[in-house]
């Protein structure tokens, strides 16, 4: 259990938290949600002790261990993968290293023997004899193979490091587990493994995530950060959304009724306060008015951008024909002899463990890269718009503000009022529209790129991981915008709900080939799970 009492934190005049009181109890998994900038990651750091609040205190049970997902990919570069994971239980790691150092001494003394005996007892009590096996199991579940266990962290790529750091947080059965965006850079299989792991975890878990399906699968409670406070709801993300919307509507209705009643009383008092025959009634109503409480609706930090893709013209019969595309990068095959035809109404999710393969395909289709072999052809009626995973090249001109940046992609006749209006819909209102592109956050850049796509009025959209860096509100708006879009969508995403609600066709790419199916994402996963169980059953039978 971990408790926050009267927590307050401000940065200058900006209040992040004010008088937050919340108790997180064992056996529950809490999803910590709120708009970008609401203070989710900051609150996790306060709970872990990495940040001190302005006032208030954090308390936990005696001897309880807190584990937090480390965000610094370079912090353990000089350590092996196995040791990095075991360092998640620092007390055990210190005992292990002292023990190993003693046994490595060439002049092992009697005193060393006594100390080693003490260490062996501590090592056993802390689960040291099972540590390497547990670490290897965690890593395997997250897609880190056995041959990487004894490599140094600096030899791994970014995605592999993220997985090792997640295994580090999960290691050793911590009493309180704090996870900030644990599904980042995980593939579908690893996310499913993590969901199963957390469903069996019996201690306290607090998670920050923008993956709605993940929150629905693992969370028993939602802790909602808004209005400078944290409100806890029992249930998963979908339940929170329904309950919070109902609560807001009730408050709004109560506020409107109170204001209407106040206006009615004021009007009566105004009309009859000087009328002798009605003076007593006017005085009575004045007392009622004084007692009436009108609760102002607080301003939420949650804001939903207006994301609507409106094609200038419908697509013709020929949309996209891909024939035998092959691409190898630095000796690694991205795809080979990839062929498919896009039909009217297709919304295709591209899947596969190699994210670079999907990015490479999209770059080729967008005309930003050449294939090694094969060809593709867009129909003459098709105007496509591309959303790249990496957008740095679109923001290289550091001297532009947002108005100047978006003007590059707006119709020639568009005036500043049109551009400001468009930016306002994408949450860049007032002075925000004059912000320099050089200081934009990742989420703000994504909203700019989506604005660019909307202005293109394309009838075919190519989107490579468009939910990266977005908050839940922006993801919801984009999700709904693509569901409503009547034309062609080719996309890749690790967001389960995003894929399952947008795609009606799936193409899974591997170096050896591809699978092309017309079905929903959930149906495909169910089919894969059934096939996996059947294969396992056959192996057991053969054995």
60-82 pLDDT, tens digit per residue, is 988 899 999 998 889 999 999 99
Alpha-carbon Rg for the chain, nearest whole angstrom, is 29
Whether 336 and 494 have beta carbons less than 8 Å apart is answered as: no
Q: How many C-beta neighbours within 10 Å does residue 323 have?
A: 14
The predicted pLDDT at position 506 comes to 96
End-to-end CA distance of the chain: 46
Residue in the structure block whose two tokens are 């709900």? 497
Question: Lowest-confidence range among 11-15, 302-306, 513-517?
Answer: 11-15
> How high is the pLDDT of residue 425?
93
- Residues 388-408 have pLDDT tens digits of 999 988 998 878 999 999 999
Q: Alpha-carbon distance 209 to 215, whole Å?
A: 7
Predicted local confidence at residue 11, as pLDDT = 85
CA–CA separation, 382 and 369 (whole Å): 19
Average pLDDT of the residues in 108-115: 89
**Percent of the chain at pLDDT exceeding 90:** 65
Q: What is the pLDDT of residue 301?
A: 72
pLDDT of 319 reads: 96
Distance, in Å, from the CA atom of 541 to the CA atom of 121, rounded to the nearest integer, reads 43
- Taking 60 as the threshold, does the pLDDT of residue 513 lie above it? yes
Model-level pTM? 0.80
Range scoring the smallest mean pLDDT among 64-68, 92-96, 264-268, 299-303: 299-303
449-504, pLDDT tens digit by residue?
Answer: 999 999 999 999 999 999 988 889 999 999 999 999 999 999 999 899 999 999 99
pLDDT the model gives residue 25: 94
Residues 6+ apart with CB under 8 A from 261: 292
Closest CA to 90 of 130, 128, 139: 128
Q: Report pLDDT for 165.
A: 96
Q: Point out the least confidently predicted range of 36-40, 143-147, 339-343.
A: 36-40
**174 contacts 134 by C-beta, under 8 angstroms:** no
Which carries the bigger pLDDT value, residue 245 or residue 57? Answer: 57
**pLDDT tens digit sequence for 284-310:** 878 887 777 766 656 667 889 999 999
| Mean pLDDT along residues 357-385 | 96
Q: Tell me how far the alpha carbon of residue 42 is from its chain's centroid.
A: 16
- 218 pLDDT above the threshold of 60: yes
Per-residue pLDDT at 195 exceeds 70: yes
């Amino acid at each position: 259990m971990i408790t926050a009492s009267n927590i307050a934190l401000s940065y200058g005049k900006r209040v992040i938290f004010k008088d937050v009181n919340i108790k997180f109890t064992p056996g529950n998994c809490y999803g910590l949600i709120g708009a970008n900038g609401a203070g989710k990651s900051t609150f996790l750091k306060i709970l872990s002790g990495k940040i001190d609040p302005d006032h208030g205190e954090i308390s936990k049970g005696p001897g309880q261990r807190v584990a937090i997902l480390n965000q610094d990919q370079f912090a353990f570069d000089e350590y092996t993968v196995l040791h990095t994971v075991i360092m998640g239980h620092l007390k055990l790691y210190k005992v292990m290293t002292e023990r190993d150092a003693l046994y490595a001494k060439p002049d092992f003394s009697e005193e060393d023997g006594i100390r080693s005996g003490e260490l062996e007892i501590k090592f056993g009590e802390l689960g040291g004899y099972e540590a390497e096996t547990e670490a290897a199991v965690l890593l395997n579940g997250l897609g880190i193979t056995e041959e990487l266990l004894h490599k140094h962290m600096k030899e791994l790529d970014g995605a592999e490091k993220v997985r090792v750091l997640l295994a580090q947080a999960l290691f050793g059965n911590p009493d309180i587990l704090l996870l900030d965006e644990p599904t980042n850079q995980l593939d579908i299989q690893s996310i499913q493994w993590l969901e199963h792991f957390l469903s069996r975890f019996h201690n306290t878990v607090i998670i920050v995530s923008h993956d709605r399906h993940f929150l629905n699968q693992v969370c028993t409670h939602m802790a909602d950060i808004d209005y400078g406070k944290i409100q806890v709801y029992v249930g998963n993300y979908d339940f929170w959304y329904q309950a919070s919307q109902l609560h807001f509507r009730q408050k709004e209705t109560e506020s409107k009724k109170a204001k209407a009643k106040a206006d009615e009383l004021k009007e009566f008092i105004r009309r009859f306060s000087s009328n002798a025959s009605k003076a007593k009634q006017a005085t009575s109503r004045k007392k009622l008015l004084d007692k009436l409480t009108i609760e102002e609706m607080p301003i939420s930090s949650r804001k939903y951008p207006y994301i609507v893709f409106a094609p200038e013209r419908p697509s013709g019969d020929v949309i996209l024909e891909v024939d035998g595309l092959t691409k190898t990068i630095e000796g690694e095959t991205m795809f080979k002899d990839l062929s498919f035809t896009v039909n009217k109404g297709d919304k295709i999710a591209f899947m596969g463990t190699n994210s670079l393969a999907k990015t490479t395909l999209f770059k080729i289709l967008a005309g930003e890269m050449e294939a090694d072999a094969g060809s593709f052809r867009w129909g003459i009626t098709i105007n496509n718009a591309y959303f790249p995973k990496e957008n740095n090249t679109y923001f290289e001109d550091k001297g532009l503000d947002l108005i100047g940046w978006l003007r590059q992609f707006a119709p020639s006749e568009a005036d500043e009022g049109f551009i400001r209006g468009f930016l306002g819909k994408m949450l860049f209102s007032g002075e925000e529209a004059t912000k320099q592109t050089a200081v934009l956050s990742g989420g703000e850049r994504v909203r700019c790129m989506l604005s660019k796509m909307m202005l293109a009025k394309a009838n075919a959209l190519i989107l490579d991981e468009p939910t990266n860096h977005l908050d839940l509100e922006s993801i919801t708006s984009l999700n709904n915008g693509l569901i409503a879009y009547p034309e062609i969508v080719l996309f890749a995403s690790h967001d389960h709900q995003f894929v399952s609600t947008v795609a009606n066709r799936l193409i899974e790419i591997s170096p050896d080939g591809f699978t092309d199916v017309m079905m929903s994402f959930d149906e495909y996963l169910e089919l894969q799970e059934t096939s996996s169980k059947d294969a396992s059953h056959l192996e057991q039978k053969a054995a």
